[in-house]
Chains A and B, each alone.
Chain A
C-alpha cells in the first residue's frame, strides 16, 4: 500500500491540485477534469494494441535478429526499419518510449532508436494525411521532406554527444524498466 502511494505520488499531488483549482475556479477545474477524462479514455483505447505488440515483440523476436535488423551494423536497413516502425504507429509520443526501451534492450543501435522516436513524433502516416487535409499538401510535404534529414541529424548528434559510458547506462536501464 505504501509502495503504491509512493509510486503514484505525483499523480495524487496533481489530482489534489486539480481539486484545488476546481474549488477556486470551478469552470477551469471542471474543464480540466473533462479533458483529463476524455484523454484517459482515448489513451485506454489507443494503448492496448501497442503494448500487446510490444509484448509479442519481446517474446518472439530474438535479440540476435534484432541486432541484425537494427543493431550497430544494420546500416541503411536499420534506419529504414526505424522510420517505418515509427511512422506506421498510432498513439501519442509517450507511448513510444516503452517500445524504444524494448528496442534498446534487444540490442538496437542507439541512433536507430532515436530515429524511431523522431519518426513517431512527426512522420506518422495518419497524422500526415490529416495534416495535408487541414494545412494543404504543400505545407505537409515541405515539412515531411525536411523532417526526414532533421530526424536523422537529431539522432546522430544526440548519439555522438553521449559517451560510451552514458550509452551503456541507458542500455542497462532499458533492461530494468522495460
Chain B
C-alpha cells in the first residue's frame, strides 16, 4: 500500500522533473542508478545473510529462545535475538503477538521489537560505509541500551 504511494510520488516527481528539465531528469536517473549500483554488493550480501539466518532462526526457534524465559535473562536473550535478526515488521509483529499469547512477557517482547528495528548487526558494514565506524557503533550501542528503557516503559504502562 505504502509502496504504491512511494511509486506514485516517485513517478509524479519524475514526470514533473522531465517536463521542467529533461537533462536534469536524466542526471537524476543516472544518479539513482549509480547510488543503487554502488551499494548493490552489500545489499545482496545482506539478503543472503538474512536468508541463512532466518532459515536457522525460524519463528519456532525464536519462540524457544525468548518465549517462556522471563525476567532479565529473558530480556537479554530477546535483545540479542532482536539485534542480530532482521525481520520485516510485517512478520515481526504477528510473531511478537503470537509469542505474547504463548506466555512471553510484554517487556521481553518490547525489547525484542525495539532492538529488531533500531539495532542492525547485519547491516553494520553498510552503516559504517556511510557513517564511519565510530558513529555506526555508537548509534547501535545507544539504540541497544535505549531498547531496555522502552521495555521498562512498556512494562510500567502495560502491567
Q: Which residues of A contact B135 (CB under 8 A)?
A: 114, 158, 162, 166, 170
The total of chain A residues at the interface (CB under 8 A) is: 82
The total of chain B residues at the interface (CB under 8 A) is: 78
Distance, CA A142 to CA B24, complexed state (A): 44
The stretch among B64-72, B73-81, B121-129 that forms the contact with chain A is: B121-129
A146 at the interface (CB under 8 A from B): yes
Contact indicator B157/A97 (Cβ below 8 Å): no
Can you name the residue of chain B whose Cβ is closest to the Cβ of A8? B41
Distance, CA A157 to CA B28, complexed state (A): 34
Distance, CA A114 to CA B135, complexed state (A): 10
Distance, CA A94 to CA B136, complexed state (A): 12
Distance, CA A58 to CA B33, complexed state (A): 12
A18 at the interface (CB under 8 A from B): yes
Residues on B facing A (Cβ under 8 Å): 1-3, 5-7, 9-11, 13-14, 17, 24-25, 27-33, 35-36, 38-39, 41-52, 54-56, 58, 86, 88-90, 93-94, 96-97, 100, 106, 109-110, 113-114, 117-118, 120, 123, 126-127, 129-132, 134-135, 138-139, 142-143, 146, 149-150, 153-154, 157-158
10 interchain pairs (CB within 8 A)? A35-B51, A46-B3, A118-B143, A126-B1, A134-B93, A135-B93, A142-B157, A147-B150, A170-B135, A173-B130
